[in-house]
Amino acid sequence: MSNKFYKQGIRFERKLVNNAKTEQKIAFRSAGSHSPIDVAIIDTKTKTIEFIQAKTGKAKMTKKDQKEFEELSDEYIVKFKVVTK
C-alpha cells in the first residue's frame, strides 16, 4: 500500500500536467521512475522543453538528482526546474 507522501506527490505531478495541458502544452508524468525527472512539459509555441522534479512539503533535491541534472544540462539545451508545492 502506498504511503500518504507518495500519493501526495502523484497528485501534485498530475496537477502540473493538467495545468500544462490547459495551456495547450504537451505534458506527461514519468510515473514510477527513479530518475530526477517527474514531469516533462513541451511548449510547441516557444519550442521549449521543461523537465521538472516535483517536490512536496520539505523534500529537497538529492545530490544525485542534482548531479544528473547538471550532466544533462552540459549536453543538451533544456530547462530543468524544481517545483515545490
What's the CATH number where 67 sits?
3.40.1350.10
Question: What DSSP state is assigned to residue 76?
Answer: S
Residue 1 pLDDT greater than 70, yes or no: no
Residue 42: φ, ψ to 5°: -115, 125
Mean pLDDT of 25-51: 87
Residue 69 pLDDT: 76
Query: The whole model's pTM is what?
Result: 0.75
Domain with 68, as residue range(s), is: 4-84
Q: Which of 9, 13, 43, 8 is CA-nearest to residue 28?
A: 13
Residue 66 pLDDT greater than 70, yes or no: yes
**31, exposed or middle or buried, with CB in 10 Å at 0-12, 13-18, 19+?**
exposed
Task: Please state the domain count of the chain.
Answer: 1
The neighbour count for residue 84, using CB atoms within 10 Å, is 13
Residue 49 pLDDT: 86
